[in-house]
Amino acid sequence: MREQGREQRGRLLILTALAGAEAGPSRFGLVTSRRVGIAVIRNLVRRRLRECVRVARPAVPDGWWIVISARPAAARATFAALRAEWVQLGRRAGCLAKLEEPA
């Protein structure tokens, strides 16, 4: 995945995306290492990232493998900041189409 995928780095997240890995729905992986913080903080970041992925799921074409790694700065970021960076990195990697903004 690391050798063949496209890696996009941001201040809060690192996104690695591989197109055409297999047929079928896209697959997502979330990585929050101990460098992000204690377990409570890591779980909070993971919950926020899962929600970002859930909302954007319809905008991701089938056949992608996407790994989102949280950087230590993600522990202090708001949900809106995480979501904005995920959308920006996804568009840059080419795995995220136009996304409807929430009302």
Q: What integer pLDDT is reported at residue 99 of this predicted model?
A: 61
The 10 Å Cβ neighbour count of residue 85 is 22
Query: Whole-model pTM?
Result: 0.86
Is residue 50 a contact partner of residue 42, using CB atoms and an 8 Å limit?
A: no
pLDDT tens string 31-73: 999 999 999 999 999 999 999 999 999 888 888 999 999 999 9
Give mean pLDDT, residues 77-98: 91
pLDDT band at 103 (very low <50, low <70, confident <90, very high): very low
